[in-house]
Structure 1
Amino acid sequence: MHHRTDPAPAPEIAAVTPASTFRAVDAVLDRTFAEMADLLVEAGARDPRGVDEAGLGIDAVRELAQRSANHGKRVRPLLAHWGWVVADGERTGSADGLARLGAALELLHLFALIQDDVMDRSDTRRGEATLHVVAATAHEVHGGLGDPVLFGDSVATLVGDLALSEATILGLGISARVSRAWRLMTLELVEGQLLDITHTADRRHDHDTARRISRLKTGRYTVTRPLQLGALVAGATDEVLAPLTEWGDLVGDAFGLRDDVIGVWGDPAVTGKPAGDDLRNGKPTALLVWAESLLPSRHHDLLQRCAAGALRPHEVDRLADAMLRCGVRDRAEEEIDGLVRAADATAARLPTTPEVRHELDAVAQSIAWRSL
């Protein structure tokens, strides 16, 4: 089995580094949140006495700013950065567009996380309570009128919608080519999420659909489209975009499959989210498709309860252990290995320097074998 290797140290390759891109992204986000707050004040939408924030009041802009600051590894802005570098972005002088794109991707991801947490009924995210849970708990503590769960979901929906709106404004204000790719990415994200919901409800498990769902809602959204968008900011040609897209889909598929593995066997202390959620919710992942053919018949009752969304906590652990022992995890690792090897071969065709290929290989390695 192929294991993660640490690439040899690479020389500095550009004045615009991932770190400088992240700083520029933060500056755009800070400016965006300040503009949003100022617009509310100018429009008279905020009570200057602070009454709106008393009791169960929510400052949506501050909520977005705080949750944005608690970011993860920033994979999407990072990949946008390397797409921009591959397309020779420094030569085109488009670093401001890259920063704007990175901020848009961060806000879009914040929207997606808030929405995903509501749909999956997740209690924690990145080691902290999810927004809908925080709001619902506050409702209960303050003895609010109505259903606290509905209140929490409503708050999360509105804050998430605001993140989506601001992300769209940023993403569509760069260029026509970027706008088209941005629109496609959001369409794919929603289509993938919708397929995930409907196939879970229908108890449909087949490998082709599981792979399509993973590619649309995870791989394309996380890897391929950010890469393309970064390259488009730099004015990339089709000759650059074609191999970059192929590399992105391979690494994106590895990311999606690793996400499925983490969803079953991940350590919440490391991942920041509960383990076993995919089994608990009966998600139509490739792992469950493989489990149906690999698990001994004595465990089929667990699979049936999983498909019905009726697993009890100890049964989630039993099913995860049974899947591990019958080879589901090994099969996933072998497929991830094959995807990364194929990506390595594709990277050799990218019209860029060995140093940039080295950085892309490091990203692929970190994505494929990120911590459980």
Structure 2
Amino acid sequence: MPFAHDIITDISERVEKFARARVREALADEVFAGSGATDPAASLLLERAAAALTGGKRLRARFALLGWRAATARDEPSTAALGLGAALEIFQAAALVHDDIVDNSDTRRGHPSTWRALEAAHRERGWVGDSEAFGRSGAILLGDLLLGWSDDLFEEATAGAAARRATRAVYQRMRRDVILGQFLDVSEEAAWVRTPDAEHAERAMRIAVLKSARYSVAQPLELGATLGGASDAVRRGLAEVGAPLGLAFQLRDDILGVFGDPSVTGKPAGDDLREGKRTLLVAYAREGMDPAERSRFDARIGAADLAPDDVRALQDLVRNTGALERAEAVISDRADAARAAIAGEELAGVAGDLERLVEATTRRET
């Protein structure tokens, strides 16, 4: 199999080629014919959509291609497998666009988030009305457009594949899970006050599984394997890798959301604390606080007026409970479980690449 950077390049080129074709198709529509110039609003939407597809580690595509390779024992990915990976990356771009609106995130990978970029474009062009409202509305529509493109590419890539129907069923379940998980995440920011303290970790675990653990690792592996017509043994082996590794992936996200370096993550320090995220790390931290500390923590996490000093105080409070060490121990344990599954005979052909992705997902800084 090509090295990771080759796969990333191949997937990125497939995504960009598809996006360019969709942009040309839209701008060539007869509704714009005879206007003498490209419609500036349509161009803005399409340019920002294409921009949203650039960058990233392409982890979901890489997991999907490894699932396909485990099923087929072929080194070079097929056109269908590359298309599946690219469709996953377009879906991820759509999810991030919408996620940044939900979370009020100003930045993504060190650049203005899509809704903020559209807000700035509205202001720079001297258009009337509320620039921020325009940015949010435009980004919702842009994310919807990307979701449609993801589906279009999935259909195009899997046309004629023997396992198309089964692969589509996995893809549909993935979409359901991540949207349900996102809604539970949003709900928990409001509903936690009615949840008994003893249940916070359980609820956070459920959100983590739906929102990220399945979607980021387990389901991409399953998608690739299904497209490739994997045996039951290979599918079981990949599932035994995906479930623990997916949870480790999300816990690493939780840690970066509280303790990540802004110069590396491209997000503000303590971003999850600013947004009031009720993650598994936060649940672990609350379990280690006395009632007074817990009350103080709950009163400040997610507060609109959090200053840098407040963020540092909350970070210290989380760290002092031992929650960080506990989360790191769970990551290590789940990574070990994934490695044990990788050692199985049915995954021998992809073991080295899977091992490298265990490292990439659990030791990352972004």
Assess same fold via TM > 0.5.
Answer: yes
In 2, the alpha carbon distance for the partners of 1:235 and 1:168 equals 21
In 2, the alpha carbon distance for the partners of 1:253 and 1:50 equals 50
Pair 290,131 (structure 1): closer, same or farther in 2 beyond 3 Å: same
1:236-283 alpha-carbon deviations (Å, 9 max, x no partner): 122211120121010000000000000000011111122212112221
Out of 195, 199, 208, which is 2:184 matched to? 195
Letter of the 1:255 partner, please give it.
F
Runs of 4+ in 1 over 6 A off after TM superposition: none
Q: What is the match of residue 114 of structure 1?
A: 97
Matched, 1:334 2:329: yes
- Larger mean CA deviation between 230-239 and 38-47 belongs to 38-47
Letter of the 2:137 partner, please give it.
S
- SS of the equivalent of 1:352 reads helix
Out of 68, 71, 90, which is 1:87 matched to? 71
Q: CA deviation at 1:94?
A: 6.2
- SS of the equivalent of 2:30 reads coil
- SS of the equivalent of 2:229 reads coil
- SS of the equivalent of 1:220 reads helix
Structure with higher helix content: 2
In 1, the alpha carbon distance for the partners of 2:36 and 2:312 equals 51
C-alpha contact (below 8 Å) 2:273/2:302 kept by paired residues: no
Letter of the 1:116 partner, please give it.
D
Matched, 1:268 2:252: no
C-alpha contact (below 8 Å) 1:87/1:234 kept by paired residues: yes
Q: What is the match of residue 320 of structure 1?
A: 315
Instruction: Compare relative contact order (CA 8 Å, sep 6+) and give the higher one, 1 or 2.
Output: 1
Q: 1:131-280 maps to which residues of 2 (within 5 A)?
A: 131-173=114-156, 174=158, 175-203=164-192, 204=195, 206-280=200-274
Letter of the 1:67 partner, please give it.
A
Q: What is the match of residue 128 of structure 1?
A: 111
Q: CA deviation at 1:296?
A: 4.1
In 2, the alpha carbon distance for the partners of 1:140 and 1:65 equals 21
C-alpha contact (below 8 Å) 1:89/1:233 kept by paired residues: no
- Larger mean CA deviation between 34-43 and 110-119 belongs to 34-43
Q: What is the match of residue 3 of structure 1?
A: none
Matched, 1:105 2:88: yes
5+ long unaligned stretches in structure 1: 1-13
Q: What is the match of residue 62 of structure 1?
A: 47
Pair 83,273 (structure 1): closer, same or farther in 2 beyond 3 Å: same
Matched, 1:37 2:23: yes
In 2, the alpha carbon distance for the partners of 1:234 and 1:98 equals 8
Taking only the aligned residue pairs, the percentage that are identical comes to 32
- SS of the equivalent of 2:240 reads helix
- SS of the equivalent of 1:192 reads helix
RMSD: 2.2
Matched, 1:365 2:354: no
- Larger mean CA deviation between 273-282 and 16-25 belongs to 16-25
- SS of the equivalent of 2:230 reads coil
In 1, the alpha carbon distance for the partners of 2:18 and 2:324 equals 43
